[in-house]
Amino acid sequence: DIFREGNNYIYFLKLAIKHILPVADVYSYCLLKNHFHFLVKIKPIENLQVEQNFSNFFNAYAKAFNKKYNRTGKLFEERFKRKKVNEDSYLTQLIYYIHSNPQKHKLLNDFRNYQYSSYRALASSKKTELKRKEVLEWFGGVEAFEKYHLEKQYVLASDMAFEDFLKF
């Protein structure tokens, strides 16, 4: 696991602000015990050291985690994966996918209550480093954002119940 307690998640997000925001805008995220997802858009600035910033981010977290838990070795099993978002419909689905991950992995029954996801920050009016305005405009406002997630959640819950049924 890459997160063992609440403070790990908070520290990870603080490091993300420090290392990622200079090179990318963050649209959504979700942190789970053994993996995480970020939806970012690389800033159109020349000579950005994007890969170096991400490397520094992961190395800083791994070093602090290893020190705190008196461990050695690699924390992240694989190099981070990137997928380019080329289609509008994929962007919408990806934001939902990221937010619904805790429910998909059966950590809770309603992903909207998960505290280490950007869903609540995007749906609220509290200060955030996320590109909230852009995300909400993309969905057509906060009500449409919440409605899309709620409608998709019912489909996810139905699919999960059907999967559980098939196990018997």
Residues 6 or more apart whose CB falls under 8 angstroms from that of 42 comprise 23, 24, 48, 50
Region 45-63: mean pLDDT is 91
Residue 17 confidence (pLDDT) above 80: yes
- Per-domain boundaries in the chain: 6-68, 88-167
> pTM for the full model?
0.88
Region 81-100: mean pLDDT is 90
> What's the mean pLDDT when you consider all of the chain?
90
